[in-house]
Structure 1
Amino acid sequence: MPTQEEIELQAAAFRRLQKHLMEDRTDVQNIDMMNLAGFCRNCLSRWYAEAAAEKGIEIGKEEARELFYGMTMAEWKAKYQTDASGAQQEAFAKAFEENVGKD
């Protein structure tokens, strides 16, 4: 079992990743992250909700996204998201199925 210090370090690393993705690299599109790495900001927000559920805390999909993004998904999309090309969408369908499962 991790020590309290390990948990705190893991939490600090997560917060740094979140800041990096939400403040420093808003130019990186979720679709590109998913296609390249097999996860994106939405995955991180889903994992957050899943971790909460393991502790008996219910957090819905939109609430988890807002907690992770620091704004609503609609606000994020309007500020930072660009249209995906056909090739990006095709690659995403494959990456999503491989890494998340069938929708």
Structure 2
Amino acid sequence: MPPLAVMFTFSVPPEKIDDAIAILAEISAAMTIEEPAALMHVSHQRADKPGSFAFYELYPDEAAFKVHGKGPIMTAVGSRLNALMEQPGKGFILNPVTGVGLPT
């Protein structure tokens, strides 16, 4: 199975930026412990637009991605993150084709 990636973008109001960053940090910390198959979870905030976030996740295969979606961290914090968003976020499932650090 090829690797699978996820890109997700969302925005929060200025007074919710610290809350969003804290939740994203919770997700990364939990994934490190609970999802050893996950290869990457990196969260970003746009430098030119505070409160506008994107995160990228990389999994070795679809099975590892499904574990994440049903895992305890997403059950615990997914709704909290959604509640901060100004509008529903936008997610994309990606199939990596080339890059540095991709599994072979």
TM-score, with normalisation over the residues of structure 2?
0.31
Return the structure number with greater helix share: 1
> Quick one: higher RCO (CA 8 Å, sep 6+), 1 or 2?
2
